[in-house]
Amino acid sequence: MKATNRVGLLARLLPVSALAVGILTGTPARTHAQPNDSNEATFARDVAPIFQQKCQECHRPNSMAPMSLLTYEESRPWARAIKERVVAREMPPWFLDKTVGIQQFINDPSLTDVEIDTIERWVDAGAPLGNPADLPTPLRWPSGDRFRLEGELGPPDLVVRSIPFTMPAVAQDTFFRPFVDVGLTEPRWIRATETKPSGRDGRRIAHHASTFLHQPETAEFLEAERALLEGQAAAAAVIQVARDRIGGNPIDTREMFTEWAQGKGGEIYPDDTGKLVQPGARVEFSIHYHAVGEEITDQLEVGWWFYPKDFTPKYSASFVSVGSVNVKPLHIPPHSETMHQGSYTLPGPAILHNFQPHMHYRGKAFSLEAIYPDGRRELLNHSNRFSNDWHINYIYDPDYAPVLPSGTVLQITAWHDNTAANRNNPDPRQWVWYGPRTVDEMAHANAQLIFIGDDDYEIMSEKRRTRSSQN
């Protein structure tokens, strides 16, 4: 990936890093704003730049966080609560164990030790303003509820919207599945995508939302796509078959395309990678709504950014759910902690671009492991914490993303805590089973795979071996 694109991706993905809702449980501190000793950490010189980079995307008016951190006057009352969450590494939300597995991600928002120390010293000194002349230039945040990717890519080329749905103030969990025609008249390759509810109120009632792509395909296209996934064909061959399709009865295929949950932003595919959408395609929205004590109407949106019409990427991205099928039966007895595992076997060599653990209230920890065809095992990453409020999509730096041979088993291990010690647990007396409701449980990882050919696999693997030996 080009360096300029990485910078843009990082800027785009930092929103997931904001100091989150839990910060409200802290006790506001008193307000004062006098000059300070130059060796003392001040808001103007030291803390405000950190808040701009890591917090303000969410902590600003009309965003997802409950308070604004744009100014000293807004930030100062929450100083002690900020310190508490930051020192505990609860905020910004990033739950991967930094001592285990791959640590190179393009969207890691976590604070450095120096940044944590700066915030801690600022609070311990009384949270002073310092010299107002040291304040950084305020950032210009967009107004309204835009796609996050718009800051980097501009407005999407196509927006597909579900029909509106009104969730009553008090009701059981509801699963809403409308179908919407895409309206394309020619095949197009997507280079970036983002799904979102309609505004802050929509995010309050949407537990998660998946989008599925339905496309009419011929048997010849499905065979070409199978060859692509197994590394035996290029994307150009797939699109050529699609363009040449004639006669016969097309087969309606259903493929999971993307997913939204609280804390997850949009996604830009790596260079020379995309997703093909055909004329006649439809989007199936699968939206899980839950009541919050207030009647709210939402309309889910998925935005697509296209490659130029004359460009065909070399690779096709595939969205898979690791463990969603074979992790069952999942059951968690009352007052207990459990562990469950699930897996997905790669049909061809592939790059693991990202992964997103998915559990509910009782989720505690999560790991992702690669079991290679020769029996070797590698713990790719371990999440030592989990929050249902933040379904983080961990996106690898392209130079460090796992390159996996055909036949590799991706195995997830999920730990759940159904005890009173879990402060998010709605009722530890309940026997919890696998299910779609928020009070039920799940255990899988949504992952983006980029299937590559055997030759590309050997080239990429060799580059990583060389770099590893040099380090």
User: From residue 21, how far is each of 78, 82, 117, 456 by CA, in Å?
Assistant: 12, 11, 22, 44
Residue 350, domain CATH: 2.60.120.230
DSSP symbol at 384:
S
Position 445 scores a pLDDT of 92
Residues 245 and 177 in one domain: yes
Q: Where are the alpha helices (DSSP H) in 101-189?
A: 113-124, 150-153
Question: With a cut of 50, which residues of the chain have pLDDT below it?
Answer: 1-36, 245-250
Q: Beta partners for 212?
A: 256, 284
Residues 302 and 321 in one domain: no
Position 437 scores a pLDDT of 81
Residues 80 and 154 in one domain: no
Residues 126 and 184 in one domain: no
Position 238 scores a pLDDT of 56
Calculated CA dihedral for residues 119, 123, 128, 131, nearest 10 degrees: -10
Residue 139 falls inside a structural domain? no
Residue 269 structure tokens:
């595919």
Residues 180 and 130 in one domain: no
| Gap between the Cα atoms of 361 and 391, Å rounded | 12
Please name the residue that has the structure tokens 């580059």: 463
Residue 322 falls inside a structural domain? yes
| Chain centroid offset of residue 373 CA | 29
- DSSP, residue by residue, 269-314: PPTTEEEEE-TT-EEEEEEEE---SS-EEE--EEEEEEPPTT---S
Residue 466 falls inside a structural domain? yes
Residue 330 falls inside a structural domain? yes
Residues 118 and 227 in one domain: no
Position 204 scores a pLDDT of 83
Position 237 scores a pLDDT of 58
Amino acid at 456: D
Residues 327 and 462 in one domain: yes
Amino acid at 19: L
DSSP symbol at 44:
I
Position 38 scores a pLDDT of 57
Residue 140 falls inside a structural domain? no
Residues 290 and 174 in one domain: yes
Residue 36 falls inside a structural domain? yes
Question: Which of 134, 163, 187 finishes a domain?
Answer: 134
Residue 295 structure tokens:
């009647």
Count of the separate structural domains present in the chain? 3
Residue 139 structure tokens:
């950032």
Nearest to 443 by CA among 394, 395, 386, 403: 386
Position 28 scores a pLDDT of 36
Question: Which of 89, 108, 134 finishes a domain?
Answer: 134
Residues 356 and 385 in one domain: yes
DSSP symbol at 47:
I
- DSSP, residue by residue, 26-39: SPPPP-------TT
Residue 136 structure tokens:
């950084």
Residue 394 falls inside a structural domain? yes
| Chain centroid offset of residue 349 CA | 23
- SS3 at position 174: strand
Do 288 and 175 touch, CB atoms closer than 8 A? yes
Residue 177 structure tokens:
């599945």
| Gap between the Cα atoms of 7 and 406, Å rounded | 32
pTM of the full structure:
0.77
Helix, strand and coil content of the chain, in percent to the nearest 5, comes to 25, 30, 45
Residues 47 and 100 in one domain: yes
Residue 141 falls inside a structural domain? no
Position 5 scores a pLDDT of 39
Residues 308 and 199 in one domain: yes
Do 366 and 88 touch, CB atoms closer than 8 A? no
| Gap between the Cα atoms of 54 and 59, Å rounded | 10
Question: Which of 134, 166, 186 finishes a domain?
Answer: 134
Do 109 and 17 touch, CB atoms closer than 8 A? yes
Calculated CA dihedral for residues 438, 439, 440, 441, nearest 10 degrees: 70
Residues 292 and 238 in one domain: yes
| Gap between the Cα atoms of 209 and 219, Å rounded | 30
Residue 168, domain CATH: 2.60.120
What spatial distance separates the first Cα and last Cα of the chain, rounded to whole Å? 21
Q: Exposed, middle or buried, 282 (CB in 10 Å: 0-12/13-18/19+)? A: middle
Domain around 59: 3-134
